[in-house]
C-alpha cells in the first residue's frame, strides 16, 4: 500500500495547552486554522504578559472561593466576572474586554484540574501567555509584505508586533475571519475561521469503528433517496501499537540505567516527542489516503468523549494503558479537516451489544466474536459495530434503513461473519515438520540431560565430605555447618537433575 505525505498546518497545541484548551462559549462556524509565528517581545509586551499572569492567578483564587461556597461547583465565567471586576478594574488600566478571556481561562483551568485530580485546588500558573479576543486585535499588512498585529491595551493605546509570514498557506488563511490570538513570550498563535461551516453530505457514507489494531469500515451509497450497502473493509493499524510498545521499552530502560535525574528527564522528554511525531506521521498518511480514496464521502465516527474514564479501564492496568495512549481523536480530527464533506458523530452506546440486523441481544464468547442467537450466526465484532454506526447515522440523516429486508445486505452478509484465523499461505498441507533441535549450550546439556555420569557418586561425595570434616575438626562427632550445607546442596542437586 502506497502512502503519500501531506504536510499539515503548523500548530503546536501542546505548547500552551492551558490556554489553547479554552473555548469560547459560542462555537464559531467554519473550519479553524492556526498559524504559529516566532517573535521577539518588547518590554511593554513582557509587562503586559506578567500583569495578565498575576490577574489570572487572582481570578483562580476568586473562582476557588466561589466554588467552595457553592458546594465545590465551579462558577460560570459570567458569574466570576461579576465578582472579579471589582478587583481587576481599579488595579489595571487595560481595556474592559481583557477581563473576559481571563475569567474564561480561570474557570476552564479550575474545571480541568478538578476533573483530572478528583479534588478542588488552585492550579499553579507559571507560563507567560495571554489569549485575546477578536475585538482587541487587528491584522495589518504593508505593501512590502510585513505584517503587524495591533493589540488594543487601552483606548487609543496600542501595542504592535511585527513579523514576516512564512507559512505557505498564509495568503489563503488571512482571507478568513481572525478568531483569536494567543501571545506567549516566544511565539504568537493566530487562529482564522475559514468557510461558513455548512459542509454538505457526500454521496457515500463511510462508518468506521476505531480499535487498537484495526479500523473497520462499512460504506453505503446514497442514490435516489435510498441507501445501499456497498462494501466492508478492514485497515490494520498495528504499526501504531508497535511504535508505542517500542518506545515504552526504551523509556523503561532509560529510567533504570540513567541515574542523573536531569539527564533522565531530558532523555524521556525526547523519547516522548519522537513517539508523538512518528504516530502523527502514520495517522497523517493514513487519513490522507482515506480522504483521497473516498473524495466524495462523508465519514462517520463514534463520539468517544470520556471513554478513558470508563469503569472497565479503572480495574485493569493493561487496558487503562492502551486506552490512555489510543490516538482515536487525532485520527478523527485529521479526517474531519481534510474531508470536503461533513463528518458525523454518533453515540457509541450499544453498538456491540445489540444486533443491527434483527435487534437481538449479542453475546461475546470471545472478544472478536459477536454471537446472535436470533440470527443463528457468529459475526465479526468490529465489522458488525461499523454496520451499527452506519445505521445510526442514516437515522440521524432521516433515512432509516432495514438491514434484513435489503438486497445489498444479502450480498455482503458473508463479509460480516466471523472466520477463524487461517494458517499462513506458505505452509504446505500434510503432517507438520518437526522443528530442528536447537544446539544446547554447555549449561543446558549439563542441566537437562536425563542421565549424567558424575565423576563421583553422591554417596561417595557425602562420605568423603564427612571424613574430611571429622579429620579436620577437634571434635569428631560434630559436622561444621558449612560442610553439612554442601552435603545437602549436592544431594538436592543430584535428586533434581536425575544423577545416578
Instruction: Read off the pLDDT of residues 314-329 as tens digits, 9 standing for 90 and up.
Output: 677 777 788 888 898 8
Residue with the three cell numbers 462558577 = 75
Instruction: Supply the pLDDT for residue 484.
Output: 47
In the predicted structure, residue 26 carries a pLDDT above the cut 50: no
SS3 state at 143: coil
Average pLDDT over the chain reads 77
E strands present in 237-326: 297-302
Residues 22-44: what's their mean pLDDT? 69
Q: Rounded to whole angstroms, how far apart are CA atoms 290 and 234?
A: 12
Instruction: Return the pLDDT at 247.
Output: 92
Higher pLDDT residue, 320 or 221? 221
- What integer is the mean pLDDT of 155-178? 83
Does some domain include residue 310?
Answer: yes
Nearest to 183, CA basis, from 210, 149, 218, 230? 149
- Percent helix, strand, coil in the chain, to 5, is 45, 20, 35
Q: For position 285, what pLDDT does the model report? A: 94
Query: In terms of residues, how long is the chain?
Result: 500
Q: Do 36 and 160 belong to one domain? A: yes
- Binned at pLDDT 50, 70 and 90, residue 464 comes out as very low
Q: What is the mean pLDDT of residues 250-263?
A: 92
Shared domain check, 257 and 372: yes
- The answer to whether residues 401 and 283 belong to one domain is yes
pLDDT at 200 over 80: yes
| Statement: residue 256 has pLDDT above 50 | yes
Say if CB 235 and CB 215 are below 8 A apart: yes
Residue 430 has pLDDT above 80, yes or no: no
Residue 46 has pLDDT above 80, yes or no: yes
Domain boundaries, position 114? 17-194
> What is the domain count for the chain?
3
Question: Is it the case that residue 274 has pLDDT exceeding 70?
Answer: yes
Residues 85 and 150 in one domain: yes
**Which percentage of the chain shows pLDDT scores above 90?**
30
Residue 405's pLDDT is 65
pLDDT for res 314: 66
Bigger pLDDT: 226 or 447? Answer: 226
Q: Which of 109-113, 138-142, 181-185 has the lowest mean pLDDT?
A: 138-142
Please check whether residue 6 lies inside any domain of the structure. no
Q: Is 449 in the same domain as 351?
A: no
Q: Is residue 122 part of a domain?
A: yes
Residues 234 and 188 placed together within one structural domain of the fold: no
> Does 222 lie in the same domain as 180?
no
Between the CA atoms of 3, 4, 7 and 13, what dihedral angle is there, to the nearest 10 degrees?
A: -20
159 and 44 share one domain: yes
Average pLDDT value for residue range 214-219: 92
Is this model's pTM higher than 0.85 or not? no
Under the banding of pLDDT at 50, 70 and 90, the label for residue 192 is: confident
Exposed, middle or buried: residue 325 (CB in 10 Å: 0-12, 13-18, 19+)?
middle
Cβ(190)–Cβ(9) below 8 Å: no
Q: Specify whether 223 is located in the same domain as 341.
A: yes
Task: Give me the percent of the chain exceeding a pLDDT of 70.
Answer: 75
Amino acid at each position: 500500500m502506497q502512502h503519500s505525505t501531506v504536510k499539515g498546518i503548523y500548530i503546536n497545541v501542546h505548547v500552551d495547552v492551558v490556554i489553547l484548551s479554552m473555548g469560547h462559549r459560542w462555537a464559531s462556524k467554519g473550519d479553524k486554522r492556526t498559524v504559529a509565528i516566532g517573535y521577539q517581545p518588547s518590554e511593554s509586551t513582557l509587562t503586559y504578559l506578567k500583569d495578565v499572569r498575576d490577574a489570572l492567578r487572582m481570578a483562580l483564587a476568586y473562582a476557588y472561593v466561589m466554588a467552595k461556597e457553592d458546594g465545590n461547583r465551579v462558577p460560570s465565567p459570567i458569574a466570576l466576572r461579576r465578582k472579579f471586576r471589582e478587583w481587576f478594574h481599579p488595579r489595571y488600566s487595560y481595556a474592559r474586554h481583557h477581563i473576559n478571556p481571563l475569567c474564561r481561562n480561570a474557570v476552564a483551568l479550575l474545571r480541568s484540574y478538578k476533573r483530572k485530580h478528583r479534588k478542588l485546588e488552585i492550579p499553579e500558573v507559571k507560563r507567560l501567555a495571554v489569549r485575546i479576543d477578536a475585538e482587541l486585535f487587528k491584522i495589518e499588512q504593508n505593501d512590502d509584505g510585513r505584517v503587524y498585529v495591533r493589540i488594543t491595551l487601552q483606548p487609543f493605546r496600542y501595542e504592535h508586533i511585527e513579523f514576516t509570514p512564512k507559512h505557505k498557506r498564509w495568503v489563503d488563511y488571512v482571507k478568513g475571519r481572525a478568531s483569536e490570538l494567543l501571545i506567549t513570550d516566544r511565539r504568537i498563535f493566530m487562529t482564522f475561521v475559514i468557510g461558513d461551516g455548512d459542509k454538505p453530505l457526500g454521496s457515500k457514507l463511510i462508518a468506521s469503528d476505531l480499535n487498537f489494531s484495526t479500523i473497520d469500515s462499512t460504506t453505503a451509497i446514497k442514490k435516489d433517496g435510498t441507501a445501499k450497502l456497498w462494501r466492508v473493509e478492514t485497515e490494520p493499524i498495528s504499526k501504531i501499537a508497535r511504535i508505542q510498545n517500542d518506545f515504552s521499552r526504551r523509556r523503561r530502560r532509560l529510567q533504570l540505567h540513567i541515574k542523573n535525574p536531569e539527564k533522565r528527564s531530558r532523555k524521556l522528554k525526547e523519547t516522548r516527542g519522537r513517539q508523538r511525531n512518528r504516530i502523527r506521521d502514520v495517522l497523517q498518511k493514513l487519513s490522507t489516503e482515506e480522504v483521497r480514496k473516498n473524495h466524495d464521502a462523508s465519514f462517520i465516527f463514534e463520539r468517544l468523549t470520556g471513554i478513558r474514564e470508563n469503569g472497565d479501564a479503572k480495574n485493569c492496568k493493561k487496558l487503562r494503558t492502551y486506552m490512555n495512549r489510543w490516538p482515536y481523536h487525532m485520527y478523527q480530527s485529521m479526517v474531519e479537516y481534510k474531508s470536503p464533506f461533513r463528518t458525523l458523530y454518533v453515540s457509541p452506546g450499544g453498538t456491540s451489544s445489540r444486533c443491527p440486523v434483527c435487534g437481538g441481544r449479542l453475546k461475546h464468547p470471545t472478544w472478536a466474536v459477536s454471537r446472535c442467537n436470533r440470527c443463528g450466526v457468529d459475526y465479526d465484532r468490529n465489522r458488525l459495530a461499523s454496520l451499527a454506526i452506519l445505521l445510526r447515522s442514516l437515522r440521524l440523516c432521516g433515512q432509516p434503513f432495514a438491514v434484513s429486508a435489503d438486497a445489498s445486505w444479502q450480498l455482503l452478509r458473508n463479509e460480516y461473519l466471523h472466520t477463524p484465523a487461517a494458517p499462513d499461505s506458505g505452509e504446505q498441507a500434510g503432517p507438520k515438520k518437526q522443528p530442528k533441535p536447537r544446539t544446547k549450550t554447555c549449561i543446558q546439556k549439563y542441566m537437562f540431560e536425563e542421565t549424567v555420569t558424575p565423576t563421583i557418586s553422591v554417596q561417595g561425595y557425602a562420605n568423603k565430605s564427612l571424613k574430611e570434616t571429622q579429620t579436620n575438626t577437634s571434635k569428631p562427632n560434630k559436622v561444621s555447618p558449612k560442610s553439612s550445607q554442601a552435603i545437602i546442596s549436592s544431594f538436592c542437586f543430584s535428586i533434581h537433575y536425575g544423577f545416578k
